[in-house]
């Protein structure tokens, strides 16, 4: 079996094509995550813990009276579950790797430039799925969610797509600040967005104007549109355009910065 395994490894590596590099890079990025779970555990545990606290304990009765409250709770913490790992897993590790000189080495090696970006985004998405799944299970098991399976499936897909701008934001932060500072800066950018976008509690009218500054707001609108959950605050195309624009802008800054500094 060993000989066979070796042979397949030799075959795999001897092909050396671009796709192989993407695949290998992603695979080892995930391996690293599994072997060093310290980074991931907080972002995995927090959303489900908060959801359980708010949806089951604090607002449990309110949800039983008004199903909309349940839906609100569900997507708020789901959004948190998918966006947080996207931001933290990509940004913090990128910043640490820059400090290690690893990015400089990868640029010098013939590593396809986008391979590590893809690897980071895939690991961000994987963490997002891991953080989000328990919320779905708990919500259904506790009967706190009045959406049908189709809506939940669409919502899940939309939320995963919504992680992409956050991956790009994470990469931007990681490319701008040093390793130890990265998580603080990520929090600084992330938390105000959670509150001020109206994600956790309905905003007073006087603050409505600024909700659309935060990417969270547009990902929320995007997901609600696709899952057919009313009411909508902006058209679907606007939400898509903003998400796309944010991704392009953050990725652009990242690429510019890495070109300047490595």
Q: Cβ of residue 67: shortest distance to another protein, in angstroms?
A: 27
Question: Which structure tokens are listed for 19?
Answer: 């796709």
Of 175 and 197, CB closest to another protein:
175
Of 100 and 188, CB closest to another protein:
100
Of 28 and 256, CB closest to another protein:
28
Q: How much is the CA Rg of the chain, to the nearest whole Å? A: 20
Q: Is 4 in the site for another protein (CB under 8 A)?
A: no
Please list every residue from 13 through 42 that binds another protein, using CB under 8 A: 13-25, 28, 31-32, 35-36
210 vs 202: CA distance, rounded Å = 13
Provide the 8-state DSSP code for 112: -
145 vs 72: CA distance, rounded Å = 9
DSSP per residue, 212-241:
GGSHHHHHHHHHHHHHTPSPPSS-HHHHHH
Q: Is 247 in the site for another protein (CB under 8 A)?
A: no
121 vs 127: CA distance, rounded Å = 10
Q: Is 244 in the site for another protein (CB under 8 A)?
A: no
Report whether 218 contacts 235 (CB < 8 A).
Answer: no
Report whether 186 contacts 173 (CB < 8 A).
Answer: yes
Q: Cβ of residue 109: shortest distance to another protein, in angstroms?
A: 6
Of 142 and 226, CB closest to another protein:
226
Q: Cβ of residue 143: shortest distance to another protein, in angstroms?
A: 31
Q: Is 256 in the site for another protein (CB under 8 A)?
A: no
88 vs 77: CA distance, rounded Å = 16
Q: Cβ of residue 16: shortest distance to another protein, in angstroms?
A: 5
Q: Which residues bind another protein (CB under 8 A)?
A: 6, 9-10, 12-25, 28, 31-32, 35-36, 97, 100-102, 104-105, 107-113, 237, 262
């Amino acid at each position: 079996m060993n000989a066979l395994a070796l042979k397949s490894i030799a075959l795999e590596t001897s092909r050396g094509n671009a796709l192989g590099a993407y695949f290998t890079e992603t695979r080892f990025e995930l391996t690293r995550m599994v072997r060093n779970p310290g980074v991931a555990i907080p972002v995995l545990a927090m959303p489900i813990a908060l959801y359980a606290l708010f949806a089951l304990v604090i607002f449990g009765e309110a949800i039983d009276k008004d199903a909309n409250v349940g839906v609100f709770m569900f997507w708020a913490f789901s959004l948190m579950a998918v966006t947080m790992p996207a931001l933290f897993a990509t940004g913090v590790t990128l910043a640490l790797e820059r400090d290690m000189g690893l990015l400089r080495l990868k640029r010098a090696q013939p590593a396809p430039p986008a391979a590590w970006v893809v690897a980071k985004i895939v690991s961000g998405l994987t963490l997002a799925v891991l953080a989000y799944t328990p919320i779905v299970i708990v919500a259904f098991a506790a009967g706190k969610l009045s959406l049908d399976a189709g809506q939940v499936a669409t919502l899940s897909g939309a939320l995963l797509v919504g992680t992409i701008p956050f991956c790009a934001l994470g990469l931007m932060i990681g490319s701008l600040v040093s390793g130890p500072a990265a998580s603080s800066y990520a929090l600084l950018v992330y938390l105000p967005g959670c509150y001020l976008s109206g994600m956790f509690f309905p905003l007073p009218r006087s603050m409505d104007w600024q909700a659309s500054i935060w990417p969270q707001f547009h990902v929320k609108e995007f997901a609600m549109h696709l899952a057919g959950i009313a009411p909508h605050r902006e058209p679907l195309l606007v939400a898509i355009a903003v998400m796309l624009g944010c991704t392009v802008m953050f990725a652009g800054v990242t690429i510019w910065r890495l070109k300047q500094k490595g």
